[in-house]
Structures are given as C-alpha cells and as structure tokens.
Structure 1
Amino acid sequence: MINTYTSYQLITRDMERSIDRVETQPMVSRETAYYRENIGNVKSIEDFVSDERLFRYAMKAHGLEDMAYAKAFMVKALEGGIDAEDSFVNTLTDKRYRDFVDIFNFARYGEQTTSFHSSTTGTVEKYMRQTLEEDAGNQNEGVRLALYFQRKAGSLKSYYEILADPALAQVVRTALGFPEALAQADIDKQVNMIKERLDLEDLKDPETLEEFLKRFTTLWEIDNPSYTPQSSIAALFSQPAEFGISTDILLTIAQMRR
C-alpha cells in the first residue's frame, strides 16, 4: 500500500481528473442526475425535507449526511435563517449548519432559493468533493484529513475556528508535533501555542499549504503506517469522530424530543 503523502499527491496532482472519476461512479451518477432534475421543483422547506433522496444528497454535499435523519432539527435551522444574530443556527458552534442554511436560505429567498448556482451546480460540486474525500478516507484516514484541510484552509479566519473543528485541529496538532493531550488544555493556551508556530495567512499560499500538508501526512504516516495489517483492520472498524455529529448537537436534538 502506498504511503499517506503519495496517496494525497495522486489525488491532488490532477484534482479535476480525480473528481471526474468520482462522477462516473454509478451510484454517484444516478443520485446526481436525480438531484439536478428535481432540486428546481423544491419551493419550500417542507418540499426539501420531504424528498428523502434529494435532502440526503444536499446534506452529504455539505458534510452533514449523518444528520439527514434529524429533520426536525434541520427544519428549525432552516426556518430561522441566518440573518438574525440569535437565530437557531447562529447559536450552534459547528459552522457547517450555518453554511448549509446560507446555501438553502428559504427564510430569505423563499421559492427562489433553489434557483441559485450555490444550491444547484454548487451543491453538486460539493457533493463530488465530499465523496472524493470519503472514498480516500476508506483507504487512509490521513488522506481524508489532508484533503479536508486543503479545502478549508483558505477560508480560515481565526485559530478558534480551527479548534472548533476536531478534524482541522487534529491536522494542526499532528503537523506541529503537538500531543493529542493538548486538546484537553485551556483553549486560549492552545491558540497561543498554535499561533507561535503557524500563521493563518501563510495557508492562503498554495506552496506553503502544500508544505504544511506534506509535513502532516509524513508525521501521520509515522503514527499510522499504511502498510501494516493492523492498520488496515483497524480502518474497517473505526469511525473517526472528526467527521460525525458533535456532542452539543446530539444534546440539542435530545432536548427537542422532550
């Protein structure tokens, strides 16, 4: 089995071709055709969530597939929109929900919501990238983390944003040689330690970002060798917490059901 950095390079060297390979997968092709054909017919939040196939596609595209079952939660988020500072979705720490509501902003645009590029072609593009990352993770979780970080790096505005996302935080801790135990330290202390070693502006430079991810994948490989039988078996039975549902979201759902 090839190592983490080489696997990452093989995908990113020609990203367009890598995405094309994903797009030709039979299931991806079928679900994408259905989404393209039907998203324009959605005129309300009720239309959106009642079409299980369509809604699940959109949720996966935005990294929220694990939450597709929680329709009452998502309806509440969509109904509140993002314009009011105290809207439901703006109180959540996980930015993925706000980003989703921003794209499918029925509260602001009503029936026009599904006519915009972001909710049509833009969501299809996100679905392809999400599927690419998931496929990579099935082979090597380090590659998935690297691809995810590459996608998010250019939009990072604060160190707290990194720490709020376990996947981003894991990449940074690994690349900077920090122990996993650092995640339990005071958040301001973590920010100061990262700030001393990493300038967020540098991540906007493609070459600097590439060097950073080369360091991450190299160090990841040391701790998680691609070629050991044990690592292959573990990958089959483990579900990384970095890409699941956060504890605060699960608590909110539980409270809604009371």
Structure 2
Amino acid sequence: MTTIGSYLAVATDLTRWRAVAAKAPDVAAETNYFKANIAKATSIDALLKDRRLFNYAMKAFGLGDRLYAVGMMRKVMAQGVANSGALANTLRDPNILAFAKAFDYAGKGAGVVSGRFAESVAGRYVEQAMQAQQGAQNPGVELALYFREQAPQLTSVYGALADKKLLQVVQTALDISPRTSTQPIDTQARLLKAKLNIDDFKDARKLDAFIARFAATYDMRSAGTTPAAVTNANAILYGASLADSDGPVGVDISLILRRQNALRGF
C-alpha cells in the first residue's frame, strides 16, 4: 500500500488506532505510572527528579529525541511563557512552547498538575505512541500523521525549521534538498516563505493536499526498484496537479482515493 493509502486508513479511524496504541503493554505501563505519580510533581525539581515522569512528559510533547536536555528544559520551565523573552518563546520550537505552557510552574506553581492535566498529557503520549507504531511499518505514515497534528499550530516558517519531522515533510513535499539545512536559518526561512504559506495548514483541505503531495513524493523517493510504487505515486501526484487550483495546495483528497482505487482495480 502507498504511503497516502496507509495514512488515510489510519487518519480516517484515529479513535480505533489510538485505542490500539494505548493498550500496548509498554504504553499502558508508562501511562499508568504517569497518572499515579504526576500529582506528586508539584515543582520543577520534583518533575526532573523522577526521570520516568519527565521522560513521559517529554515524549508526550514530541520531544523524545531530547531527553538529554534536562538543563535546557529546567530553564524553559523556570522562565515560563508570560515574558516574550522567555526561552520557550525564543527557541521557536512549537513542541517546546507547548510543553512550557503545560508545565508552567513559573505561572501556575503547584497548580500545574491539577484537574484533567494527567489525562491531557496521557492523550498526547498515546498519540505519539500511535504515530511511532505506524512508523514502524512505514516511516512516511508517521511523518504524515505527525504533520497533520502539528502543522496547524505553526505560526511561522521558523517553527517548521525548528522541528526535524515537520521540516522533513516540508522539504520532501516541496522537493527541497535536505542540504539546505546547513544554510543560515534566515536564508532557509526566506526559501520556505517563497514556497509556502504557513496559514494554509489551518485549512483542513489544504493541509490534506499538502500531506498528499508529501506522500506521493516520499513514495517516489523511496520506491527504489519497485516500479509499481513509482507508477502509483506518479498517478497520485498527477491527480493532485489536476485538482490544483491554488498553487501547491488545494487538492481534493477524494480524487486521490479514487485514483488509488482505480490503480488497484477496485
């Protein structure tokens, strides 16, 4: 199955796939521990002292690749989000900002972990776990699901540049070489601004169209010696171009599904 086909199979039944992820033994064990113990983390030090809680929280906010950055996250939480010069606001990373808003010890004190806080964080963790499970079958599907969740929250291209997964999707969809990441950040930002309107991702139809473009290009790049995969991906991309009335976005996802089904003989 193509990346777009696999992605749509999950995206149209997210409740089911999240439930599957939540029941996985490792996910269930970590979630139960978090819910049972997070109320004890009434300060930054308490959260950081229990590395199991801290790691769960980091993974829930898409920061699993930065578990080592304890010192930085201490500063993020200590400075809060109220001041525009706070670290969370200047790093331009939407995941770090979301983490800082949730674990706002600077602004809320011990009240951070009150109410439905544990359920909210657990929901994020399960979402990340579900995406990772899909990624084990097809990394492109994980990227597409992650982009679907995170892209609407972007406020500038700098947010995409600060997130490796978001950037990979954008570079793939727009056929931008990963080597551009070695350029100065402002140079990269100008390049993306010339090719991309971040506000388009707040429109569900345009977001779907961009993901479809990414998926088709991803399959073409990773198809290798599988001619059928290349043919399918080309057909999807061709279908996208036929429906494209607003530049890089504006594809009707149903058209893509119809073209995929026709290729399979459905």
TM-score bracket for this pair, using the shorter chain length: 0.7 to 0.9
Structural mapping, 1:47-58, within 5 Å: 47-58=46-57
Summarize deviations over 1:46-85 as a string: whole Å, max 9, x none.
2211122222111110112233344333223222222233
- Choose the corresponding residue for 1:158, options 156, 159, 162: 156
Which of 172, 175, 198 is the equivalent residue of 2:170? 172
Distance 1:3 1:14 in 2: 17
Residues 69-88 of structure 1 aligned to structure 2 (within 5 Å): 69-88=68-87
The higher relative CO (CA closer than 8 Å, separation ≥ 6) is in 1
Paired residues for 1:126-205 under 5 Å: 126-184=124-182, 190-205=188-203
**2:92–2:158 CA contact under 8 A, matched in 1:** no
Letter in 2 for 1:130: Q
**Inter-CA distance 86–3: structure 2 relative to 1 (3 Å threshold):** same
Mapping of 1:8-23 within 5 angstroms? 8-23=7-22
> Normalising to structure 1: TM-score of the pair?
0.77
Question: What root-mean-square deviation, in Å, do the aligned CA atoms of Structure 1 and Structure 2 show?
Answer: 2.4
- Higher alpha-carbon deviation: 120-129 or 179-188: 179-188
Counterpart contact for 2:81–2:88, Cα < 8 Å: yes
Aligned residue for 1:36? 35
Aligned partner of 2:254 in structure 1 is: none
Instruction: State the structure with more CA Rg.
Output: 2
Q: How far has the Cα of 1:43 moved from its partner?
A: 1.5
User: Residues 148 and 48 (structure 1 numbering): CA distance in 2 closer, same or farther, change over 3 Å?
Assistant: same
1:118-139 Cα distance to aligned partner (Å, 9 max, x none): x321111110111112222222
Q: Which moved more, 1:91-100 or 1:37-46?
A: 91-100
Counterpart-to-counterpart distance in 2, 1:204 and 1:10 = 22
* Residues 8-61 of structure 1, C-alpha deviations (whole Å, 9 max, x = no match): 112111011110110111111121112112212221112211122222111110
Aligned length: 226
User: Does 2:254 correspond to 1:221?
Assistant: no
How many Å separate the matches in 1 of 2:35 and 2:224? 38
Q: d(CA) in 2 for partners of 1:45 and 1:188?
A: 33
Which residue of 1 is the match for residue 252 of structure 2? none
Q: CA 1:226–1:128 in structure 2 vs 1: closer, same or farther (change >3 Å)? A: farther
Note if contact 1:3-1:225 (Cα within 8 Å) is conserved in structure 2. no
Note the C-alpha offset of 1:185. 5.0
Once residues 47 and 107 of structure 1 are traced to their aligned partners in structure 2, the CA distance between those partners, rounded to angstroms, is 14
- Taking structure 1 as reference, are residues 180 and 54 closer, same or farther at Cα in structure 2, changes over 3 Å only? closer
1:236 alignment counterpart: none
For residues 225-255 of structure 1, the C-alpha deviation after alignment (integer angstroms, 9 at most, x for no partner) is: 2887xxxxxxxxxxxxxxxxxxxxxxxxxxx
Alpha-carbon distance in 2 for matches of 1:151, 1:26: 24
Q: Distance in 2 between matches of 1:69 and 1:163?
A: 21
Task: Please tell me the residue identity of whatever aligns with 2:213.
Answer: R
Q: Which amino acid aligns with 2:128?
A: Q
Does the aligned pair in 2 maintain the 1:140–1:226 contact within 8 Å?
no
Decide whether aligned partners of structure 1 residues 226 and 64 sit closer, same or farther in structure 2, where only a CA change above 3 A counts. Answer: farther
Range with greater deviation from structure 2 (105-114 or 151-160): 151-160
1:191 shift after superposition: 4.4
Q: Is the 8 A contact 1:63 1:130 kept in 2?
A: yes
Ranges in structure 1 where 5+ consecutive residues have no aligned partner:
229-258
Counterpart of 1:123 (choices 104, 121, 124) is 121
Query: What is residue 60 of structure 2 aligned with on the other side?
Result: 61
**Quick check: 1:3–1:226 contact (8 Å CA) kept in 2?**
no
Summarize the Cα distance change of 1:227–1:131 in structure 2 as closer, same or farther, 3 Å threshold.
farther
